[in-house]
Structure 1
Amino acid sequence: HIDHAGAAGELAERLGLPIIGPHEADQFWIDGLPGQSKMFGFPPAQAFTPTRWLHDGDTVTVGDCTLAVRHCPGHTPGHVVFYSAEARRAFVGDVLFAGSIGRTDFPQGDHDTLIASIKQRLWPMGDDTVFIPGHGPESTFGRERRTNPYVADR
């Protein structure tokens, strides 16, 4: 969405950088960035095609850190999460929040798919894993399993 990727195309072009990810199921969102920027009053955005698409099980390296890629659809069909087992950290974007979950009312969002992604793709990373959401405070998967009204273990 525009609030996460609005300047990616311009930065990549200006700095000669590759764009890695997300999963190709989100190309329609990337193609819609110019319209989203107008609709929500953001600076003009340009569409792009990533240099490399990401798939479940891929890895990406940032500096000395290698992150595992987990495809977690539901908020968007191509949403990916980045996980460092060594650091016990997951960058989850808008899939999960402290006390809430991502929206599923956007085109191709799906509530049941999002819940399944959280429970099947995130919970196995461990209760002690800290997650960094796209908005708001950090939490742990264990805390959300106990208290989050949308995904708490029953």
Structure 2
Amino acid sequence: MASNTATMGNLPSGVGICTTIPDILYVPELIFGGLVWILVACTLVVPQNPQGWVMFVSVFCFLLTFIWLVLFACGGHHNKGSWATADFAYHGIAAFFYLSASVALAKVTLEMKNDTTASGQQNYKLDIAAVVFSYVATLLYFVHAILSAIRWKSF
């Protein structure tokens, strides 16, 4: 009888994604990416273009990571070599996107530092938190990409 924690090669499925490296990183990626999304959505910043990129990256990566998590949890990955390659590619691209969004968000936040109005200071504090969480998400995606590359090379 098959268990829902059985793995396909080195790619886990079912509950196994909550116990294996790098797949255990899905949950923190979702948490920190969601926090970036929420914090940036709460602020009103005059240069909307960098904030728009940050919102795109956080929403895109949140949704795709959730879909990826559900796909692995349901065992929808049959060709393990192709899925290992796709896992590495996705997390590498997500790390690059988050790094670019983090730098843009940090730049905008530094420019807001001298706003002395009450709403300006509140937006500044929210953006500082968003920058921190954005860099943590970048680190999580980068570590996931490295560990996925190691797993990919084992196939």
TM range (shorter): under 0.3
Structure scoring higher RCO (CA < 8 A, sep ≥ 6) equals: 2
Give the number of the structure whose residues are more often strand, by fraction.
1
Q: Who wins on radius of gyration, i.e. which is larger? A: 2
Give the number of the structure whose residues are more often helix, by fraction.
2
TM-score, scaled to structure 1: 0.26
